[in-house]
Amino acid sequence: MQKIVVIGSSNVDTTLHVENFPKPGETINAHKVSEAGGGKGGNQAVAAAKSAAETIFISRVGEDSYGSWMKEQLAGYGVKTDYVLPTAGVKTGHAYITLNAEGQNDIIIDHGANYSLTEADVLAAKDVIEAADCVIAQLETPLEATTAAFKLAKAAGKVTILNPAPAIKDLPADLLAVTDLITPNETESALLTSLPVAEEADLEKNAAKLHELGVKHVIITYGSKGAYLSSPVFTGLVPAFKVKAVDTTAAGDTFLGFLAGSLASDFSNLHEAARFANRASSLAVQKMGAQPSIPDRASVASALAE
């Protein structure tokens, strides 16, 4: 069994279900409102746990009813929450999602307690980080905490995966130096590299630039087209599975959690792990909600065998 530590965000997702996105200045009606656990960190932790990996989550929630609810939700999916810490005087992070009839979404985040995660929180989890096979982080929590976690992981010879979302223009060199695999989507990659992604041929140029920044393995997720891998063990597009999407909110997070849960420490099975992760993502987008939509490993294996 893989042992994975995820450092990242915990959000409550409030989704407004609409026919079409409103135009600037337009008022529209939502035909449904729903709530579920979310946050890129939380989603990726749930996906890793559902991939059958032992998963420990390091995060911050508010000292409010939502914080307790988030921990219960995560634990219910098999995520270990000993390092999901309450933060006095700050509310739990919240994401406000508008979801249209095509399954596409817009998201606005109120970060809440997520920005309270500190380097000290990470150092308190030193033992579990050093015992993990893989450490995952995103950019919805402070960079100092992520960098500290990755430095601990690399010193112990563990795999580090950075999901640079939401993307920032200039990632710190000391963070990239301890990142084994970076996993932007095409929009995030374009921001990181200052290169366009208008067609598939641009993915190779983006990946080359990310390698220049110091990362050995690159995956650029490319929406319904799949994922572009650039690595010493495999380079090329791993096609997506064609399905009718109803909610894409957790697509990328599901991909990453299942990738980490399947990946060998030497990256030798990167192509196979990415294909498995693509199949998991294809199942997630066919259901509503972020964490509730994430399938378990048996369901993914069965679907892949069809």
Catalytic residues: 253
Which H or E element spans position 273?
Answer: helix 270-284
DSSP strand pairing (93-99 vs 105-110): antiparallel
Residue 225 annotated in ligand binding: yes
Residue 284 annotated in ligand binding: yes
Residue 78 annotated in ligand binding: no
* Torsion angle defined by CA atoms of residues 181, 184, 188 and 194, in that order, rounded to the nearest 10 degrees: 40
Residue 114 annotated in ligand binding: no
Residue 88 DSSP label? T
Residue 38 annotated in ligand binding: no
Residue 41 annotated in ligand binding: yes
Residue 42 annotated in ligand binding: yes
Q: How many helices (H) and strands (E) does the chain have?
A: 11, 13
Q: Please, are residues 81 and 55 in contact by the beta-carbon 8 Å criterion?
A: no
Using CA of residue 282, residue 286, residue 291, residue 296, what is the dihedral sign?
A: negative
Residue 264 annotated in ligand binding: no
Residue ranges with strand state E in the chain: 3-7, 11-17, 32-38, 54-62, 80-87, 93-99, 105-110, 134-137, 159-162, 181-182, 217-221, 226-230, 235-239
Residue 65 annotated in ligand binding: no
Match 């640079």 to its residue by tokens. 164
Residue 11 annotated in ligand binding: yes
Residue 223 annotated in ligand binding: yes
- Using only C-alpha atoms, the chain has a radius of gyration, in whole angstroms, of 18
Q: CA–CA separation, 285 vs 271, rounded Å?
A: 21
Residue 214 annotated in ligand binding: no
∠ Cα 62 18 290 (to 5°): 40
Residue 287 annotated in ligand binding: yes
Residue 67 annotated in ligand binding: no
Residues annotated within a binding site for substrate: 11-13, 39-43, 140, 253
Residues annotated within a binding site for K(+): 247, 249, 284, 287, 289, 293
Residues annotated within a binding site: 11-13, 39-43, 140, 185, 221-226, 247, 249, 252-253, 278, 284, 287, 289, 293
Residues annotated within a binding site for ATP: 185, 221-226, 252-253, 278
